[in-house]
Structure 1
Amino acid sequence: MYISKERLLQLEKLQEKIKIQFSDVNILNQAFIHPSLTNEKDCPHQDNNQRLEFLGDAVLELVISEYLYKNYNFLNEGQMTKIRALTVCEPSLAKAARQLGLGDYLILGKGEENTGGRQKSSILADTLEALIGAIYVDKNYGTAYDFIISILEMVILKSVEGEWDTDYKTALQEFLQKSDADRVLYRVTKETGPDHDKVFYVDVVWKNEVLGTGVGKSKKQAEQQAAKAALEKIKGQ
């Protein structure tokens, strides 16, 4: 597809924003060509962004999986699966796409343009996946990895904390208070690593007995891991 000078300037601004300079700007442009345009113009499907979206979806899942595996060794398979799903879901991707202003770069068919396609969450999420696919094709996996983590790292962190917050601490409190109202205490026993990448070690204590120990990237995570260990110990007795 022909790229006008105006469009080239627009894409140059996008490259500055995402801090990635493409070798082939045509690939970047294709990431923003919505199927509604090619359908209206009766163009081949290779001209729109769906194939890049397909590839980007796979790269995205691999990157999030690798990041969780390397950085959260206290998560089990089921927890990693749940957190990955929360991270790559449509609302999360659409929010990241809005923060990058990706809707401004879309090329839509008239029908989709007239019905507010630039702000539709489904279209924005798909476009972000197509952009990831384009970065992978034009650059490499490492560049795609860095880009994905730069825009979704906070989502991952909040998803991890949400996973713990909805589970073990509350369950432990409710379980113990069925028999005794003594307070459950969480004590940080050790901190390791630099300030920007600390690891916390926490004991959960009840009636002066250590019921479990947890490790996490934040105190919240470590407390939830300790509560999980305590529940497993109590229920295993």
Structure 2
Amino acid sequence: MSNTSITALESALQYKFQNHQLLIEALTHRSCKKSYNNERLEFLGDAVLDLLVGEYLFKKFPLAQEGELSKLRACIVNEKGFMKIAQSIDLGDHILISQSEENNKGRHKASILSNAFEALIGAIYLESHLQCVQKIVNRLLEMNYARIDLDSLFMDYKTALQEITQARFGQIPVYTLIAESGPDHKKSFEISLSIDGKIYAQAKGNSKKDAQQKCAKIALEQLERNL
């Protein structure tokens, strides 16, 4: 990893690493077949991010109930949410991957970007302190989520899926109501999602919109795995 690459990433993070070897480990994908990779740091970073995103939302929405806070966190703390943040700091440019993974467009894969971001946060946590990581995470959240609420976060899944399907298939997803059950005050809706006549997802939700968003998320993950 070149000094130029390290400097560019540090500038994007607004953080200077004390231990460059720890940074290199955080960016090393297992495909490199080295004696180290970023999986352990990814494990640590996942736990740190779960806590810090939760605290960020807890303070930002003092009137929100536990259920809404959990849904908001789930919309951010996931592969697609972390990929979005990783892309905002051009993390894909700095990840160390094998040539075969490079040929397979690994730098753009949601799983690799998301895992590297978690590992990066784990590395920063190890060599600094929680307050330092919190400052970085909060700034990245503000930068990537100018508006944080259930409607805007959920909309990301449907919008992102529609953009991909239009580019890849020249079509938009079709959402079909399969079943509706439960009393009026506690309805459950089951929706299927199809693209070009093929069913990609099926999900239940407490509203049609909720079920559609769950379908879009499932379909997105499936399409990204098949890149």
| TM bin (shorter chain) | 0.5 to 0.7
Q: CA deviation at 1:165?
A: 9.8
- Residues 32, 49 of structure 1: 8 Å contact kept: yes
Aligned to 1:37: 32
2-structure distance, mates of 1:59, 1:165: 23
Output the CA distance in 1 between the equivalents of 2:48 and 2:40.
13
Of the candidates 109, 113, 132, which is equivalent to residue 102 of structure 2? 113
Would you say 1:53 and 2:42 are equivalent positions?
A: yes
**Alignment partner of 2:65 out of 76, 89, 98:** 76
Pair 1:94–1:163, CA change in 2 (3 A): closer
For 1:81, give the aligned amino acid: S
* Change over 3 Å in CA distance of 1:130–1:50 after alignment to 2: same
Q: Please state if 1:125 is matched with 2:105.
A: no
Distance 1:164 1:132 in 2: 22
How many residue pairs match? The answer is: 156
Structure 2 portions without partners, runs of 5+: 156-183, 185-227
Q: Is the 8 A contact 2:27 2:94 kept in 1?
A: yes
Bigger Rg, structure 1 or 2: 1
Look up the SS of the partner of 2:97 in the other structure.
coil
Q: 1:77 to 1:86 in 2, by over 3 A?
A: same
**2:85–2:144 contact (8 Å) kept in structure 1:** no
Q: Distance in 2 between the 1:9 and 1:157 partners?
A: 30
- CA distance in 1 between counterparts of 2:129 and 2:113 reads 23
Matches within 5 A, 1:1-237: 7-38=2-33, 43-44=34-35, 47-153=36-142, 158-162=147-151
Q: Is the 1:79–1:163 contact (alpha carbons within 8 Å) kept by the matching residues of 2?
A: no
SS in 2 for 1:31: helix
Q: Which runs of 5+ in 1 are unaligned?
A: 167-174, 176-237
Are the counterparts in 1 of residues 28 and 95 from structure 2 also a CA contact under 8 Å? Answer: yes
Counterpart contact for 2:72–2:150, Cα < 8 Å: no
SS of the equivalent of 1:144 reads helix
1:156 deviates by: 5.5
Identity %, equivalent residues: 35
Does the Cα contact within 8 Å between 1:87 and 1:155 map onto a contact in 2?
Answer: no
Deviations 1:92-151 (A, max 9, x none): 211111111000101101221110000111111111111111110111111111111111
Aligned-residue CA RMSD (Å): 2.3
Q: Deviations over 1:137-182 (max 9, x none)?
A: 111111111111111136566342528999xxxxxxxx9xxxxxxx
Change (3 A) 1:85 1:157: farther
TM-score (ref. length: structure 1): 0.60
Residue 26 of structure 1 aligns with an amino acid whose one-letter code is Q
Change in CA separation of 1:159 and 1:11 when aligned onto 2, cut-off 3 Å: same
Q: Deviations over 1:45-89 (max 9, x none)?
A: xx1001111100000010011112222121111111100000112
In structure 2, do the counterparts of structure 1 residues 85 and 165 end up closer, same or farther at CA, with 3 Å as the change threshold?
closer
Question: Contact 2:84/2:144 (CA < 8 Å) preserved in 1?
Answer: no
Query: Contact 1:103 / 1:124 at 8 angstroms: preserved in 2?
Result: yes
Closer, same or farther in 2 for the Cα pair 1:76/1:111, shift >3 Å? same
